[in-house]
Structure 1
Amino acid sequence: MKQRHISATALVLAVTTSAWAAGIEPYPNAVQAESASITTREQVVAELREAQRLGQMTSGEAGYPRATFGDEFGSTSTLGDSRQLRARIHAETIEAARLGLLGSGEGSPPIATAEQEKLITVAGNHAVDDFQSAQRTLRTAGK
């Protein structure tokens, strides 16, 4: 039994060592490090400014326009001031909770009717209006 183990080990070593006979070569070649760029930082900044000037730079993922939110009730707004967005979301969440639309657990979530969605949107719009009027008041008080 012991001789079989020794013979099997010798056979495995003989087969595997021949694979290393040619030496270690990196595979695939694409894994090898590329040479460093010879472009200077100033050149890169100049190229960036030129692309921005020509309108070739996109914002967002894959060149999509800035995200907007809204619906058929006319509450479309481009994401802007985070405080304004936070006020809108807070008011809409409170309204949805008042209407019993915030589900919990693993059951089916409640689905809002068109009228309920309109009420939620109106609450968000009121919050944005209140926020904007407060901002105007602060600006005029500061003058």
Structure 2
Amino acid sequence: MKTVATTLIISAAMFAGAAQAEQTTTVTRAQVVAELQQARESGQLTRGELNYPPAIVSSESKSRDQVLAELAAARAAGELSQGELDYPPVAAAESTKTRAQVVNELHEYLASGNVDQIEA
């Protein structure tokens, strides 16, 4: 019985090795070297762990005034987060009702008997 199990394991390993050997690549060494050189030039390769992940090189350039204007617009829209607890940032919803109107609606709802009385 051990002989049969051993034979099956060995034959399975041989078929797996043969299947891996059949995989062919269509990329030549010259193509790989060219891709490596292109990655080096575009700054996609890093050395060590201090500069990982690599910085994304932007082809777009903005002036300082443009960046400050975008920052001010994001602040005004409430799109900046202040820490981990408010991530992702959500713009504040603006209400068209006054506080008195909202309190009035609450009292009407409570008077309708749909819920138990709560302290307002």
**Shared fold, TM over 0.5:** no
Q: TM-score, normalised by structure 2?
A: 0.31
Q: Which has more helix, going by share of residues? A: 1
Q: TM-score, normalised by structure 1?
A: 0.28
